[in-house]
Structure 1
Amino acid sequence: MTINCKGTLIDVSSPKVMGILNMTPDSFYDGGIHKNEAAILKHVELMLNQGATFIDIGAYSSKPNADFVTEDIELQRILPIVEIVIKNFPNTFLSIDTFRSNVAKLCIETGAALVNDISAGHLDKNMLPTIASLRVPYIMMHMKGTPQTMQQHTHYENLTKDILFYFSERINAAKALGIIDVIVDPGFGFAKTLEQNYQLLNQLELFKMIEKPILVGVSRKSMIYKTLKNTANEALNGTTVLNTIVLQKGASILRVHDVKEAMETVKLIESLNC
């Protein structure tokens, strides 16, 4: 199973790691820690050296009840970072974490390689046509509502079945526009209760029937630290445990804050599967 990033075929049948670069001041774990260009480049270099295949840049916090951010502010935060990362690390595969088509378009034109949309096109009707015209890989996540309202939308007739149906509809809509490279993200923590997150984790292998790469992002999330009764800062061990489980259940990409530990997890699981 491969995806085409800027003319390079990336084989995701061997799991890959996506390192997170948050450019938001209010992210739940690392918001506001990258204060200047030097710090940003140092962190990107570290993640690349540790083995990240992708770097995911976001400038709009999607944590529950996150503050609304205008498109202008999102662009002011993210475009300069895309520019300096591509200038200093031109072969980097940058993923743009946005639900806005214009942000996606301008970042791709600046050198980014793929788009990571928490809404799967539901929050911007122009997103799917824009992805089709850009001809880039598209990560579509499951979410209901918006970051501000999603935790009010946790009712499901059948959690896993409903999410699988959601992806079936979204993938068909993408396919109709000629979008080929689609990655699905079940959306842990988005419009799901603590118990639903673990139900979803328990049934994650069912998502292999979609026959698309599966991206999982559980890194330092509340489903870990609320269960362990600690904090996001103390949730690395729990993250590694859950990443081990999702790899065994078929995940193709781990989206993480801690690249070194995720790469070690991938290596050990691959050794187990030899």
Structure 2
Amino acid sequence: MIQSMTGFGKHIVQLPSKKITIELKSLNSKSLDINARIPQFYRGKELELRKMIADVLVRGKVDFGLYVEITGEETTAEVNEAVVKKYMKQLANIADGDKVKLLEMALRLPDAMKTEKGDIDETEYESIKEAMKQALSEIKIFRDEEGQVLEKDFIARLKNLNRLLDDVKAIDPERLDTVRERLEKAVADLKVELDANRFEQELIYYLEKYDITEEKVRLANHLGYFETTLESNDSNGKKLGFIAQEIGREINTIGSKANYAPMQQLVVQMKDELEKIKEQMLNVL
């Protein structure tokens, strides 16, 4: 079963003096790219939290946010009085203003607040990890559901491609007869004497160049392999992408050898179906 790389997961844990929110968003990407927003106080645990994400999500552009809201009396931030007073003195020398306005300006400047650096409470961190697990579980469910939608679309496109391939097989004999008649007429219009045996040999050689038997067989095999890969337990978007490239190669070869308008029209439809598959493929894990 395939998974989408698009997903969202969120979990909130309420502690005695703070509310901690874990939020995860993911989009498609060729590799795993984690953008983390974590308060400075928890930076020491960032690598471990990143590993938890990598073990579950594997691939995609992931935005990870850890947000803390103080709900009790606890706080680790204090006003850096010495720095703020120095800022206010310098600002007063530059521009006029009352002390309230100067204070507002000073508090926005760097180092106006200082944070007491302490150790993370282990019980609190266990709660954070549990919240992370819950958020990862939610985003995985989201990815699974999106994957089911993609899988249904892929199966519908594969049915269309198989139907078009059957149409190609059906008109192939007619195509070769038409090409043969066209060549014979062109030679007849020249009104020159030809060796019948030699002409037949050259005609057979020419028609062999337009034979698409191998392409039809390989295309059918690739379509079957794509469907089998969809049914596997693992989601392997890269493998499906490689198979889609091979499907495209066979379709292009049939188109280049067609030399027959009705078949070329079928090839255009096949390319359209394959292009839609490739667009969706970018989002498969």
TM-score (norm 1): 0.18
Task: Tell me: higher relative CO, structure 1 or 2? Use CA pairs within 8 A at least 6 residues apart.
Answer: 2
Superposition TM-score, scaled by structure 2 size: 0.18
Compare the two structures and name the one with the higher helix fraction: 2
- Which has the larger Rg? 2
